[in-house]
Chains A and B, each alone.
Chain A
Amino acid sequence: MAYVAIADRDHEIEHHDPTTFITKYVWSQDHKVIAIQYGVTAMFVGLIALCLSAMMRLQLGFPNSFSFITPADYYQFITMHGMIMVIFLLTALFLGGFGNYLIPLMIGSRDMVFPYMNMLSFWVYLVSVIVLLASFFVPGGPTGAGWTLYPPQAILPGTPGTDWGIILMLVSLALFIVAFTMGGLNYVTTILQARTRGMTLMRMPLSLWGIFMATILGLLAFPALFVSAVMMTLDKVAGTSFFMPAIMSMGENLSHEGGSPILFQHLFWFFGHPEVYIVALPAFGLVSDLLSTHARKNIFGYRMMVWAIIAIGGLSFIVWAHHMYVSGMNPYFGFFFATTTLIIAVPTAIKVYNWVLTLWQGNIRLTVPMLFAIGFIFTFTHGGLTGIFLGNVVVDLPLSDTYFVVAHFHMVMGVSPIMVVFGSIYHWYPKITGRMFNETLGKWHFWLTFLGTYAIYLPMHYLGFLGVPRRYFAMGDTEFMPESAFVLNQGITISALFVGLVQLLFLYNIIVSLKKGKPAGPNPWNATTLEWQTPDTPPKHGNWGDELPVVHRWAYDYSVPGYHDDFIPQNVPADATPATSEHGSDT
């Protein structure tokens, strides 16, 4: 039985606008409001995690100078910093924030397909954040097990926060997964089933391809984290032995016996590696649109970019054990996982080449979003190259658990996605708020952040080569560590504190510009994608007024010869434009 698409029966449906303050802004089912709720909550917890990293750096740069940072505190800061940044900030911001805002606007629909479930998704996410933050206030404080939560140490006395912290952490993760699943089902179904007339999958902006694939990865990878959270909670609360071998703790034999700690690592990284791409793929997508728009040039190799996203998504499920070369798993696994890891570098490199070739001979405008997008190419290439070092077993063994690893993953999935987050917030700020941000402040923010992060992470590679171990509270007197390592640590700390403070510029800019910014107009960047063609700015409930837009071309018709503008929006009919637009007239 054929089913009539929403775009063809839009006029039959009555649209009800919310009327009260509560339904408009609090219990809102509008994807744009939910996106902002997600975004603000994510940035709020991100600021907490930033403060935690500042505390860690204070201790590492100037050991023994701060009596209020104990070793237990330090481990709790590490754990919470990592978990918040990866899951509660980046995943929530890219998918809950940008996904929610951009999906319906970019595909030309009025909202998500299940707005009520979308609203629930945010509120469950908020509960998971509250449960997580509550662990700061329980006896024993939050867990200090490291963000990977490896058992047996995660649930045994000796690790900070084994009374309550670890339980709250696991409960919070389970709640987050429930929230993500409700949102994720919405994103996938909306992209596949609720596009407007003319919007084929191969005409979608790459932002949506990235978000789409990342959501699928999330739906298939978070189950592993959910299962391991359930089993570890049982190990902790009910005394089961899923992950617990026979073990002696504090001089006593524990009742645990026969469990498999490596099983947890496999489950965790079966989630954890796709999680890297859950964060990276939306960044890849968004940055592609930023580069193309501000270089006034079509994205280079659109089809190849789409297939690269799909290939990376598929491969990301068979590389997980490259996080486990030193775990004691069967050494033959290392061969397989090193090979797949190097294979996944191929589609990733294709994407980097295509970004650079998009810039090639473009009419580059160095706006603030463009600066961040170009900054991303630098930091991502940099972090990607060190990834090739760590993906090979023999090189990984000596570098494992050193600052080289810290530098690698912060460059590739800390700094790089955050560059895209900033660039994208600046890029879509005029559409979300209707006002322009302060360009000068934005440029200061970029240069100080970009150079500052290099001042933080470049020296860490050197520390890693020296063999400085990560996750140590203080280095003490160690023979292999020269004086320079300690000086560098101080320098890194000063840079880190400075970069942290620079983010105040960003906050000041986006808050003050809400009121004081110049009115931006509907399409300040002269972009082609549908969200810039809405009848109102910011878009009203229902997005499109009376008529849904009709799409006639792909998302990248920039600088088409013979057309009076240097961009052709996706909803301009084919007969109004020159025939040279190769992707425009294929219907």
Chain B
Amino acid sequence: MSEAVLTDTGNEVVADFSADKQTFQVPWGKAMMWFFLLSDTFIFGCFLTSYMTVRMSARDAWPVPSEVFALSFGGEPIPLILIAIMTFILISSSGTMAMAVNMGYRGERNKAFWLMLATAGFGAMFVSMQAFEWTKLIVDDGVRLWSNPMGASQFGSTFFMITGFHGLHVSVGVIYLIVVARRVRSGFYDRTRGNYEMVEIAGLYWHFVDLVWVFIFAFFYLW
């Protein structure tokens, strides 16, 4: 750092905000992604707050998560088994994503490409298992967006709406990752000024989607 005088963090923040030209020493795309994620946080925040409100205002019984989200193996129901696997997969995908960002900055294009593809693969697995979970709820248990044979209709409404909105985010993320991964492999970022920041920006989005899942998991499956 050229400004060796500014050693403690407080002063650095002040220096950034009183600087001319740019406030954050990051490319535009990264700054924009942060603001977008902040805005998206408010969307998920509103969804989850609404979920808590209608869960409390609902008059009929709420299904017991450990029963409704259980899978039977050999006649023995195992609570939350599917969702445990799904969560494990999604969290693992954050790991491969972080490694891809690292490889991108090191210029190891091939490794970055395969790690991003692995991340996208984990994401696709997550969405497929979500589709399986939805199918079980809809076909076997008869839960609908507007009704729920086990009690409060809001269970189906909030569950399909919020996990659906999150699943949409994951699906968009898978496509986004594949697009960026192809550009990494083709050397697109060596020819443009974008460098490998684009991998990190895609990573920001991916980690955000994972983080949101932790909250959805806690509120829907553990409450």
Contacts and interface: CB of A to CB of B under 8 A. Distances in A.
A181 B50 contact: no
B183 to A, nearest CB: 17
Interface in B137-152: 145-146, 152
Interface residues of A, number: 54
Secondary structure class of chain B's binding surface, majority of residues: helix
B54 A238 contact: no
Contact of A202 (B18, B38, B165): B18
A224 B45 CA distance: 9
A198 B165 CA distance: 44
A242 interface: yes
Interface in A23-65: none
Contact of A189 (B18, B28, B38, B145): B28
B26 interface: yes
A199 B21 contact: yes
Contact of B60 (A189, A227, A230, A257): A257
A227 B43 contact: yes
Interface string A1-25: 0110111100000000000000000
B125 to A, nearest CB: 27
Contact of B145 (A7, A238, A257, A258): A238
Given A231-B161, A241-B157, A189 B35 contact: yes
B5 interface: no
Contact of B20 (A199, A234, A257, A266): A199
A241 B57 CA distance: 11
B154 A259 contact: yes
Contact of B38 (A195, A219, A260): A219
Given A8-B21, A258-B59, A181 B53 contact: no
A192 interface: yes
| Interface range for B | 35 or more
B11 interface: no
B36 interface: yes
A136 interface: no
Contacts of A241: 54, 146, 153-154, 157
B176 interface: no
B24 interface: yes
A227 B165 CA distance: 11
B176 to A, nearest CB: 15
Contacts of A259: 54, 57-58, 154
Contacts, number: 139
A184 B39 CA distance: 10
B32 A258 contact: no
A82 to B, nearest CB: 22
A258 B154 contact: yes
A200 interface: yes
Contacts of B158: 242
Contact of B22 (A194, A240, A242, A551): A194
A535 to B, nearest CB: 21
Interface in B10-28: 17-28
Nearest to A239: B146
Interface string A257-278: 1111001001100100000000
Contacts of A197: 20-21
B42 interface: yes
A26 B20 CA distance: 34
B58 A258 contact: yes
B31 A198 contact: no
Contact of B157 (A194, A203, A234, A551): A234
A381 to B, nearest CB: 32
A551 B19 CA distance: 13
A188 interface: yes
Interface string B45-85: 11100100110011110000000000000000000000000
B31 A263 contact: no
A521 interface: no
A195 B22 contact: yes
A184 B153 CA distance: 37
A189 B26 CA distance: 11
A481 interface: no
Given A192-B31, A240-B146, A181 B36 contact: yes
B157 A240 contact: yes
A219 B152 CA distance: 33
A357 interface: no
Contacts of B54: 241-242, 258-260, 263
Contact of A260 (B18, B26, B53): B53
A114 interface: yes
A223 B46 CA distance: 7
| Best-surrounded residue of A114, A203, A228, A239 (most CB of chain B within 10 A) | A239
Q: Which of B23, B35, B43, B58 has the most CB of A within 10 A?
A: B35
A62 B120 CA distance: 65
A185 interface: yes
A238 B46 contact: no
B32 A242 contact: no
A201 interface: yes
B23 to A, nearest CB: 4
A511 interface: no
A197 B152 CA distance: 60
A201 B19 CA distance: 8
A224 B46 contact: yes
A226 interface: yes
Contacts of B25: 2-3
A259 B50 CA distance: 10
Nearest to B28: A113
A241 B42 CA distance: 22
B145 A234 contact: yes
Given A240-B145, A240-B153, A260-B57, A185 B36 contact: yes
A568 to B, nearest CB: 18
A220 interface: yes
B39 A195 contact: no
A238 B165 CA distance: 16
Interface in A183-235: 184-186, 188-189, 192-203, 219-224, 226-228, 230-231, 234
A113 B38 contact: no
Interface string B99-110: 000000000000
A114 B40 CA distance: 19
Given A185-B35, A203-B20, A241-B153, 16 more contacts: A8-B21, A113-B28, A181-B39, A184-B39, A192-B24, A196-B20, A220-B42, A223-B39, A223-B42, A227-B43, A240-B145, A240-B154, A241-B157, A242-B157, A242-B158, A258-B152
22 contacts: A3-B27, A6-B21, A6-B22, A181-B39, A186-B32, A189-B35, A194-B22, A200-B19, A201-B17, A201-B23, A220-B39, A224-B42, A234-B145, A240-B154, A242-B154, A242-B157, A257-B153, A258-B54, A258-B153, A259-B54, A263-B53, A270-B46
Interface of A: 2-3, 5-8, 113-114, 181, 184-186, 188-189, 192-203, 219-224, 226-228, 230-231, 234, 238-242, 246, 255, 257-260, 263, 266-267, 270, 551
